[in-house]
Amino acid sequence: MDPLLNIDIHRDSEAVAHPALATQRISLALELEAALDRDALITALHRFIRDDHFADEIPVDVANYAHLADGPQVLLICHYGQLSYDVEGELHTLRWSSRRTRQRDFETRLRHAADVLLRAARLLGESDGVDLRARQGVLRFAIRDRLAAPDSAETRAAVEPYLASLAETLGVTLQLVGHASSRRAS
């Protein structure tokens, strides 16, 4: 067992191929066309907890960080990850960031993250007062694990086939974002 990656590297062939494929800390984000009403968003996220919309992710709480100029503004904190409304300058995103997962292989973890994010976007779009309009056809992807996945050509080469497969399935373009989320990798 590798304590840093929290996986059995002898049983997971992807971990041997590249450590990036073993990480649990992946992030997918929708770029939004406009800012969200934070109060309406907080109300909707509390309703998600109350109505068990994300029971499989084990939601814990909603946090309001609107006092920060950039970064996460509102978070739905869950055992397995967090859903956040982020602001970086003029860029507004709805992001799912996995922290730990039940899925063993990278492709399944990636598809699960996409499912959670798109389900959240759909539910928020149906919520009163949350005018969620995503830019069509684009998802942003990042690995939030510098040890297992340094921002390098090798990491990009390891994950790109999985991103291409997901992008084709969803009919979107997936943008690979480096560790500094405002910097896009080519």
Residue ranges per structural domain of the chain: 13-176
Start-to-end CA distance of the chain, whole Å, equals 34
Question: Which pLDDT band, with edges at 50, 70 and 90, does 149 fall under?
Answer: confident
pTM score, two decimals?
Answer: 0.83
- HSE-CB for 4 with a 13 A CA cutoff: 8
pLDDT tens-place string over residues 18-69: 888 888 899 999 999 999 999 999 999 999 999 999 999 999 999 999 888 8
Tell me which of 11 and 18 has the higher pLDDT. 18
Q: How confident is the model over 152-171, as a mean pLDDT?
A: 92
Look up tokens 């059995």; give the residue: 8
CA–CA gap between residue 5 and residue 8 (Å, rounded): 8
Mean pLDDT of the chain, nearest integer: 85
pLDDT at position 74 = 97
Question: Which pLDDT band, with edges at 50, 70 and 90, does 117 fall under?
Answer: very high
> What are the residues whose beta carbons fall under 8 Å from the beta carbon of 180, sequence distance 6 or more?
151
pLDDT at position 12 = 45
Quick one: what percent of the chain has pLDDT higher than 90? Answer: 62
pLDDT at position 178 = 67
